[in-house]
Structure 1
Amino acid sequence: MASKQPSTKIKVCLVAISLGRGGAERATALLSRMLHKKGFNVSIAILNDMVDYPYEGKLFNLGALKTEPDTLSKRLARFKKLKAFFKEEQFDYIIDTRSRGSAAKDLFYLHYLYKKQRIIYVVHSFNIFQYFPKQQWLAKKMINKAEAVVGVSKAISEKINTEFETNKAITIYNPSEPFSEKETENPFSEKYILYLGRIEEKVKNFTLLLEGYKASKLSGGNIYLKIVGDGPDVDFIQQKIQEMGLSETVTLYPFTPAILPYVKNALYLTLTSRYEGFPMVLIEALSVGTPVLSVHCESGPDEIIVNKNNGLLIENHSVEALSEAMNTLAFDEDLYKTCKESAPESISHLTMDAIAEKWATVLKNKHL
């Protein structure tokens, strides 16, 4: 690495797909703010021109340079600019939070963009091959070069260490961010349960969510299901709702960054994913006293939910288990009261200050 002038601040660049719409993207924006508050010199390089979440630091928006048609030569020209940015800024660390997994792209990053850089990879999903290529030799090469690999759940870190025969993977959870919005008025007049997140069937398993809701007693008890988010399967979900005869009680709403009124006024929040990482939506709900109902998928929910204390954690891929849990959390008043009262304190270890300190410890120790 080129020599650099002494500085009192450690220079860090976060590399992300964008700062919009997804949980991993929101976690990246939060990380920029936590590190900035801790006194780090923070930059963020994003590949797509999408910024929905507040961030701190210098933004290098590669996506804003895109023009159509986006040819290979144009993409290479943008990456040359990113390489020049790295060289000019002389970062102490590059923290790569992107979804990865393409061998060709990973080789390009490893041997060109990240050459002579100190890299920390972040993994936001239990499906680790969204973040590392399936070619073991290349994944191990990336990990061997890295200063560290951060998994956002214990299960992710353990899987990485086992799969790639390493001990570099450590766990740092996503934080709970206090809501900045002031408006908490209920956007709906009726009682409702809530799904909040990306609309993608192969991961989120809306089929299970809708079948569980239909088999439950909720619609008969005038408790509606609200689905809020965007993604590739919006049309599929809308069609599914109509085919199942649920149009009167299930409604899909577009993504909004102003989620507090939806979350705070929900009876409870639901999650039926096939797999996760460390789902921020669960801790967001708990932070404002909204209980959660989640399937026991890999990974994250079992590291957040204390069953019958701040919500319910149930068997995955079971319509019967889901419908029964929906009924229990909606109609068992004593259980609901316990979960609602316990919710905020159950995530007290996930404050932004606490998680920022864990990141600062890693970066400062590696910097010695």
Structure 2
Amino acid sequence: MKSNGKKICIVVTSLGKGGAERSSALLSKLLSGLGYTIHIVMIVDEINNEFQGELLNLGKIDSRFPILKKIKKLKAFKSYLKIHHFDFVIDNRSRPSLLREFIVSRWLYDPRKTIYCIHSYRLNTYFSTVKCIAKYMYKDAYKLVAVSEEIKKAIASVYDLTNVITIYNPVGDLQSQAITDEQLVSDYILFYGRINDEVKNLSLLIESYHKSELPEHNISLIILGDGKDLEAIKLKVRAKNLNKDVIFKSFIDNPYSYVKRAKFTVLTSRYEGFPMTILESLALGTPVVSVDCKSGPSEMIRDGYNGLLVENNNSEKMALAMNRFIEDNPLYLKCKSNTKPSVAKFSMEHIGQAWEQLLTKN
């Protein structure tokens, strides 16, 4: 793609594990494909996703003193912005620290050229809890980009900000990545993501699976990922006597073979933003059983059309939904046939048009 002459700086915490990290890497490819010159500034030295563009890895800056390390990173970043004269900065980081983000928003960035992305419905990970300060910090930004309509509405309501729009995360072509010679269990459902019970609520998943009829039908549950609560979740599995039914697999960069071959994937999170696991699953032709948490699932899943939406924090209803996909084959086949068409609007082409419109707006 011929360059259009515009330079974009995408700021990320890292390019490591997680949906926000995958979507940031994908955004670099999308914008590069549209002709923008892409630079990525990364705060933490962790890369698990392919990206496009020139990388400034601030995570490699070191010091014996933590505060000095932060100052060095800030000065290096400021110098980098001054040298390159970017047309836009797209900040994809979480932003919970009031003092740090006040410095970033008012000293490091030019608000007129800054786009802040919000990837979670838990707004206090992106905004100060002091509403008047949050409004002051972000009211002059070029735009705030929420990854779901529910997040957009919440920002507008809580912080009285009017410069908020929605641009969904895109999904790339995953089919070529879903090929492997690895031998997988014959019949299974799948969770993949961070093993963080506070967010992902894997306790609900284990309880729901235990109450369902899936173990009796020899349908395993694969939990694919790593995280701080891995051992605690394994203990819950043993307590339910599900050792033979629940299979733990460590994080891998390419989980798509597991996703494509699963009977269905599951999501039981307490809250989300716009969960990439749902989008990726549907794009690979695999239906999803998900809780209707804030936010994202209801903007991708139509209950009974391409998956099942379940009241959150209800293990009985989650178990019944799992059973429906096993017992009601016509329903399952209907949902499976609608998976790929249902995510056409999240293609790189469609989401690229939304970004193009934003970046070329006068």
Q: TM-score range by the shorter chain?
A: over 0.9
Distance 2:284 2:85 in 1: 41
Distance 1:274 1:116 in 2: 33
1:208-357 matches, cutoff 5 A: 208-357=204-353
Q: Which amino acid aligns with 2:89?
A: I
Q: Which amino acid aligns with 2:231?
A: D
Question: What is the aligned partner in structure 1 of residue 134 from structure 2?
Answer: 139
Distance 2:357 2:206 in 1: 43
Distance 1:356 1:312 in 2: 28
How many Å apart are 1:182 and its aligned residue? 5.5
Query: Structure 1 residues 8 and 269 mapped into 2: Cα distance closer, same or farther (>3 Å)?
Result: closer
Q: Which amino acid aligns with 1:342?
A: N
Question: What is the aligned partner in structure 1 of residue 5 from structure 2?
Answer: 9
Contact 2:117 2:144 in 1 (8 A): yes
Distance 1:218 1:203 in 2: 24
Distance 2:206 2:91 in 1: 35
Unaligned 5+ residue runs, structure 1? 1-6
How many Å apart are 1:64 and its aligned residue? 1.9
Deviations 1:88-121 (A, max 9, x none): 0111111110011111111121233225662110
Distance 2:100 2:8 in 1: 22
Unaligned 5+ residue runs, structure 2? none
Question: What is the aligned partner in structure 2 of residue 41 from structure 1?
Answer: 37
Question: What is the aligned partner in structure 1 of residue 196 from structure 2?
Answer: 200
Secondary structure at 1:344's aligned position in 2?
helix
Query: Structure 1 residues 189 and 75 mapped into 2: Cα distance closer, same or farther (>3 Å)?
Result: same
How many Å apart are 1:270 and its aligned residue? 0.2
Distance 2:61 2:259 in 1: 36
Provide TM-score, normalisation by structure 2.
0.96
Question: What is the aligned partner in structure 1 of residue 360 from structure 2?
Answer: 364
Deviations 1:219-274 (A, max 9, x none): 01100000111222112212221222211111221111111110010000000011
Identity %: 38
Contact 1:187 1:262 in 2 (8 A): no
Counterpart check, 1:130 vs 2:125: yes
How many Å apart are 1:315 and its aligned residue? 0.8
Q: CA RMSD in A?
A: 1.5
Between 1:73-82 and 1:174-183, the stretch displaced more is 174-183
How many Å apart are 1:338 and its aligned residue? 0.5
Question: What is the aligned partner in structure 2 of residue 3 from structure 1?
Answer: none
Counterpart check, 1:155 vs 2:153: no
Secondary structure at 1:343's aligned position in 2?
helix
Contact 2:61 2:69 in 1 (8 A): no
Distance 2:133 2:250 in 1: 39
Name segments (4+ residues, structure 1) moved above 2 Å.
184-187
Question: What is the aligned partner in structure 2 of residue 85 from structure 1?
Answer: 80
Contact 1:14 1:45 in 2 (8 A): yes
Query: Structure 1 residues 116 and 212 mapped into 2: Cα distance closer, same or farther (>3 Å)?
Result: closer
Contact 2:115 2:145 in 1 (8 A): yes
Secondary structure at 2:177's aligned position in 1?
coil
Distance 2:290 2:209 in 1: 13
Question: What is the aligned partner in structure 2 of residue 105 from structure 1?
Answer: 100
Query: Structure 1 residues 83 and 243 mapped into 2: Cα distance closer, same or farther (>3 Å)?
Result: same
Distance 2:232 2:217 in 1: 27
Contact 1:16 1:28 in 2 (8 A): yes
Question: What is the aligned partner in structure 1 of residue 58 from structure 2?
Answer: 62
Distance 2:6 2:227 in 1: 37
Q: Which amino acid aligns with 1:30?
A: L
